[in-house]
Amino acid sequence: MKKIYYLDSNICITYLRGRNSDLRDKIDSINANYIKLPSLVKGELLFGVFKSGRIEKNLKQTLDFCNLFEIVPFDNDSLMTYGKIRADLERKGQKIGANDTIIAATVLARNGVLITNNTNEFGLKVKNFPSRYAKHNPLCRLCA
Protein backbone atom coordinates (compact mmCIF):
# COMPACT_ATOMS: atom_id res chain seq x y z
CA MET A 1 0.00 0.00 0.00
CA LYS A 2 1.35 3.40 -0.97
CA LYS A 3 1.99 5.98 1.76
CA ILE A 4 -0.40 8.89 2.05
CA TYR A 5 1.22 12.23 2.83
CA TYR A 6 -0.50 14.97 4.81
CA LEU A 7 0.80 18.52 4.50
CA ASP A 8 1.15 20.72 7.56
CA SER A 9 0.36 24.44 7.33
CA ASN A 10 3.98 25.56 7.31
CA ILE A 11 4.73 23.34 4.31
CA CYS A 12 1.69 24.68 2.44
CA ILE A 13 2.76 28.26 3.14
CA THR A 14 6.31 27.59 1.96
CA TYR A 15 4.93 25.97 -1.20
CA LEU A 16 2.50 28.83 -1.86
CA ARG A 17 5.18 31.47 -1.37
CA GLY A 18 7.49 29.65 -3.80
CA ARG A 19 10.47 29.94 -1.46
CA ASN A 20 11.81 26.43 -1.87
CA SER A 21 12.01 24.91 -5.33
CA ASP A 22 13.12 21.54 -3.91
CA LEU A 23 10.00 21.34 -1.78
CA ARG A 24 7.78 22.45 -4.66
CA ASP A 25 9.40 19.89 -7.00
CA LYS A 26 9.01 17.09 -4.44
CA ILE A 27 5.33 17.83 -3.79
CA ASP A 28 4.65 18.26 -7.51
CA SER A 29 6.32 14.89 -8.20
CA ILE A 30 3.86 13.01 -5.96
CA ASN A 31 0.50 12.05 -7.43
CA ALA A 32 -2.09 14.35 -5.83
CA ASN A 33 -4.14 11.28 -4.84
CA TYR A 34 -1.39 10.50 -2.31
CA ILE A 35 -1.35 13.96 -0.72
CA LYS A 36 -4.07 15.17 1.61
CA LEU A 37 -4.71 18.13 3.89
CA PRO A 38 -6.11 17.81 7.40
CA SER A 39 -9.17 20.06 7.63
CA LEU A 40 -7.54 22.12 10.37
CA VAL A 41 -4.61 22.89 8.04
CA LYS A 42 -7.05 24.40 5.55
CA GLY A 43 -8.55 26.40 8.43
CA GLU A 44 -5.11 27.67 9.47
CA LEU A 45 -4.37 28.68 5.87
CA LEU A 46 -7.68 30.55 5.63
CA PHE A 47 -6.93 32.28 8.92
CA GLY A 48 -3.70 33.54 7.37
CA VAL A 49 -5.57 34.71 4.28
CA PHE A 50 -8.03 36.78 6.29
CA LYS A 51 -5.21 38.30 8.35
CA SER A 52 -3.34 39.32 5.20
CA GLY A 53 -3.44 42.63 3.41
CA ARG A 54 -4.31 40.97 0.08
CA ILE A 55 -7.32 38.86 0.96
CA GLU A 56 -8.78 38.47 -2.54
CA LYS A 57 -5.47 37.40 -4.16
CA ASN A 58 -4.43 35.15 -1.29
CA LEU A 59 -7.88 33.57 -1.00
CA LYS A 60 -7.88 32.54 -4.65
CA GLN A 61 -4.33 31.16 -4.44
CA THR A 62 -5.09 29.26 -1.22
CA LEU A 63 -8.37 27.78 -2.42
CA ASP A 64 -6.83 26.77 -5.76
CA PHE A 65 -4.05 25.00 -3.85
CA CYS A 66 -6.39 23.32 -1.35
CA ASN A 67 -8.67 22.14 -4.15
CA LEU A 68 -5.82 20.01 -5.51
CA PHE A 69 -6.06 17.69 -2.50
CA GLU A 70 -8.64 15.84 -0.47
CA ILE A 71 -9.47 17.68 2.76
CA VAL A 72 -9.60 15.11 5.57
CA PRO A 73 -11.99 15.79 8.46
CA PHE A 74 -11.30 15.51 12.17
CA ASP A 75 -13.64 12.54 12.60
CA ASN A 76 -14.40 9.90 15.27
CA ASP A 77 -11.20 7.94 14.59
CA SER A 78 -9.24 11.18 14.87
CA LEU A 79 -10.99 12.01 18.15
CA MET A 80 -9.99 8.66 19.65
CA THR A 81 -6.40 9.16 18.50
CA TYR A 82 -6.41 12.73 19.84
CA GLY A 83 -7.41 11.52 23.28
CA LYS A 84 -4.66 8.89 23.30
CA ILE A 85 -1.97 11.29 22.05
CA ARG A 86 -2.88 14.05 24.47
CA ALA A 87 -3.04 11.70 27.48
CA ASP A 88 0.26 10.05 26.52
CA LEU A 89 2.04 13.37 26.08
CA GLU A 90 0.64 14.70 29.35
CA ARG A 91 1.86 11.59 31.21
CA LYS A 92 5.33 12.22 29.75
CA GLY A 93 5.21 15.89 30.76
CA GLN A 94 5.24 17.00 27.13
CA LYS A 95 2.85 19.44 25.58
CA ILE A 96 2.18 20.43 22.02
CA GLY A 97 -0.24 23.03 20.78
CA ALA A 98 -3.91 22.14 20.46
CA ASN A 99 -3.93 22.62 16.68
CA ASP A 100 -0.84 20.46 16.24
CA THR A 101 -2.39 17.72 18.40
CA ILE A 102 -5.49 17.74 16.22
CA ILE A 103 -3.41 17.64 13.02
CA ALA A 104 -1.25 14.80 14.39
CA ALA A 105 -4.34 12.83 15.43
CA THR A 106 -5.93 13.28 12.01
CA VAL A 107 -2.80 11.90 10.34
CA LEU A 108 -2.04 9.10 12.82
CA ALA A 109 -5.65 7.85 12.78
CA ARG A 110 -5.10 7.13 9.09
CA ASN A 111 -1.53 5.80 9.41
CA GLY A 112 -0.37 8.69 7.24
CA VAL A 113 2.91 10.55 7.00
CA LEU A 114 2.92 14.17 8.12
CA ILE A 115 5.13 16.53 6.14
CA THR A 116 6.05 19.41 8.41
CA ASN A 117 8.76 21.88 9.28
CA ASN A 118 7.53 21.92 12.88
CA THR A 119 9.19 18.74 14.09
CA ASN A 120 9.90 19.95 17.62
CA GLU A 121 6.24 20.68 18.25
CA PHE A 122 4.93 17.32 17.11
CA GLY A 123 7.32 15.19 19.14
CA LEU A 124 7.08 12.40 16.59
CA LYS A 125 9.80 10.34 14.97
CA VAL A 126 11.33 12.45 12.19
CA LYS A 127 13.66 12.10 9.27
CA ASN A 128 14.94 14.83 6.98
CA PHE A 129 13.32 15.61 3.67
CA PRO A 130 16.01 16.70 1.17
CA SER A 131 16.38 20.42 0.64
CA ARG A 132 19.25 22.41 -0.78
CA TYR A 133 18.26 25.14 1.69
CA ALA A 134 18.31 22.85 4.74
CA LYS A 135 21.43 24.39 6.27
CA HIS A 136 19.57 27.70 6.60
CA ASN A 137 16.01 26.53 7.03
CA PRO A 138 15.08 22.84 7.18
CA LEU A 139 11.81 23.47 5.37
CA CYS A 140 10.48 19.98 5.38
CA ARG A 141 10.73 16.88 7.47
CA LEU A 142 8.71 13.69 7.38
CA CYS A 143 7.06 12.63 10.61
CA ALA A 144 5.80 9.10 10.89
Instruction: Give 65-94 pLDDT, tens digit per residue.
Output: 999 999 999 999 999 999 999 999 899 888
Under CATH, which architecture does the 5-143 domain have? 3-Layer(aba) Sandwich (3.40)
C-alpha distances in Å from residue 51, one per residue of 4, 106, 118: 30, 25, 21
Intervals of the chain under pLDDT 50: 123-144
pTM: 0.83
pLDDT for position 120: 58
